[in-house]
């Protein structure tokens, strides 16, 4: 959660409400401006649970961040597809 942009999270909660994934924390989170990152962080875990989202473990989150970075390197033209395949293969072997 440390890499989230808190100002975007209330809009996520608003979308969850539109999709019918509601609960007290989701409603409260949707009403925040996002400027107070502590308030967002305090509500987010409960809101995710209410919306039926299972949080990633620390290891899963670390892997996602790493793979997202590798993908961004490729899409930005900084890494070849062969390098990406090699790095991903090494990491899962």
Indicate if the pLDDT at residue 3 is higher than 80: no
Question: What percent of the chain has pLDDT above 90?
Answer: 63
Mean pLDDT on 57-76:
93
Q: How far apart are CA 8 and CA 73, in angstroms?
A: 24
Q: How far apart are CA 92 and CA 10, in angstroms?
A: 35
| 22: confidence class by pLDDT, cuts 50, 70, 90 | confident
Distances from the Cα of 40 to the Cαs of 13, 21, 36, in angstroms? 11, 18, 7
Indicate if the pLDDT at residue 2 is higher than 70: no
Q: How far apart are CA 11 and CA 75, in angstroms?
A: 27
pTM exceeds 0.75 for this model: no
Q: 88: Cβ–Cβ under 8 A, 6 or more apart, which residues? A: 67, 70
């Amino acid at each position: 959660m440390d890499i989230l942009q808190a100002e975007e999270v209330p809009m996520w909660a608003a979308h969850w409400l539109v999709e019918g994934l509601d609960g007290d924390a989701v409603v409260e989170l949707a009403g925040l401006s996002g400027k107070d990152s502590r308030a967002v962080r305090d509500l987010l875990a409960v809101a995710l649970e209410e919306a039926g989202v299972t949080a990633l473990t620390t290891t899963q989150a670390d892997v996602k961040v790493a793979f997202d970075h590798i993908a961004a390197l490729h899409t930005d033209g900084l890494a070849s597809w062969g390098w990406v395949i090699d790095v991903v293969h090494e990491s899962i072997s």
